[in-house]
Homo-oligomer: A and B are copies of this chain.
């Protein structure tokens, strides 16, 4: 992509009504546009990051034999009434509206109930189990406050997965597999070292659920952490958890975190409530085990924008950066820079090519604000030495390389 054809422009200052650092940076760099509090447009650069994150999540969900589908945003009242969760007193984030015939409908803030209802069509016998399904869905939640940029949206993208099992053991085994898959996801997203599997409130079937909490000053959660023992506990369950784990609160460090994922063992509670059963080998009707597994896709993008950025702007990990290389041409080198642009792309490298007639400082500042992992600079002086300047965004390290050395390094 040539910067000259990018319709977004970087901004010196963020809009005054935007208080969250992640959104300030993403707006300034041209990644998102704020439609209203908690609802953001993903501009071309932002959409590329979002799709890269989704693809990593997708690969890891496929790797644990889950099947992708896409459910509906429109929700039927009668489905949610089965678990009492239609009520605004029970769930306080519903957006509701009405069909022309005055039927009340909701907009999906979660899809547990509708997927259990749907599976009545597909799960009848033990032979139909286990089955795991996931989607990337735009969830709608009527949040009272939405001041955390893309970290808490009224409209946001979530990956939600649901698994159905004949036995508790089978669910437990899959639950463990999903924890491992989630760890791989956060590792690949570049925040694995600061993301902890965290004890959180459970339900009727399990004392605890598990959240994935990433250390982040802008997060809305507090966890208690034991780094050496790799133990993390959400403050909401701290008292029960320390008893259970046989530790004391003194051993733990209190840190601010953002929840980037959560997994929940429903046991047979929800399927029983909604009358989803299966028939076992002996023809006997049996309760069915359900697990539910979420990743806040847009939230994790916001957390990465918050955490990995510096005073110059965003810093994207290579795996999710919109482009791998920011190519800067300085002076009268258009022909050679055009050629390098082609060469890099042919080598499979995504390139944002700053071909504008701007001063070098402005181009460097944009490269930094946008957080592109590698900057490659070409100038007349460098060309005369058959060198390119190569700068790493997150370390600032700068070296001079030949084209071959550059390709060896990044292709």
Q: Which A residues are within 8 Å of any B CB, using their own CB?
A: 5-9, 33, 35-36, 39-44, 46-47, 50, 65, 67-74, 76, 95-97, 99-100, 105, 107, 114, 118, 121-123, 128, 131, 133, 138, 140, 142-144, 154-155
The answer to whether B67 and A155 touch across the interface, beta carbons within 8 angstroms, is no
Q: How far is the CB of A40 from chain B (nearest CB, A)?
A: 7
CA distance in complex: A183, B263 (Å): 46
Chain B minimum-CB-distance residue to A146: B99
Which residues of the partner chain B approach A155 to less than 8 Å between Cβ atoms? 72-74
The answer to whether A99 and B154 touch across the interface, beta carbons within 8 angstroms, is yes
The answer to whether B68 and A47 touch across the interface, beta carbons within 8 angstroms, is yes
> Considering the complex of A and B, which 3 residue pairs feature the smallest CB-CB distances, nearest first?
A39-B72, A7-B131, A35-B72
The answer to whether B100 and A97 touch across the interface, beta carbons within 8 angstroms, is no
Q: How far is the CB of A271 from chain B (nearest CB, A)?
A: 15
Can you list 22 contacts pairing A with B, beta carbon distance less than 8 Å? A5-B65, A7-B67, A7-B128, A7-B133, A8-B122, A35-B71, A35-B74, A35-B114, A36-B72, A36-B74, A36-B76, A39-B72, A39-B73, A39-B74, A40-B72, A41-B71, A42-B69, A44-B67, A47-B69, A73-B73, A73-B155, A99-B154
Which residues of the partner chain B approach A5 to less than 8 Å between Cβ atoms? 65
CA distance in complex: A100, B97 (Å): 14
Which residues of the partner chain B approach A43 to less than 8 Å between Cβ atoms? 69
Chain B minimum-CB-distance residue to A44: B67
CA distance in complex: A361, B71 (Å): 32
The answer to whether B74 and A144 touch across the interface, beta carbons within 8 angstroms, is no
Knowing A9-B122, A36-B76 are in contact, say whether A69-B44 is a contact too (CB < 8 A). yes
Residue from B41, B69, B96 in contact with A72 in the complex, judged by beta carbons closer than 8 Å: B41
Chain B minimum-CB-distance residue to A105: B36
The answer to whether B99 and A70 touch across the interface, beta carbons within 8 angstroms, is no
The answer to whether A41 and B73 touch across the interface, beta carbons within 8 angstroms, is no
Chain B minimum-CB-distance residue to A70: B42
Chain B minimum-CB-distance residue to A27: B121
Which residues of the partner chain B approach A36 to less than 8 Å between Cβ atoms? 72, 74, 76, 105
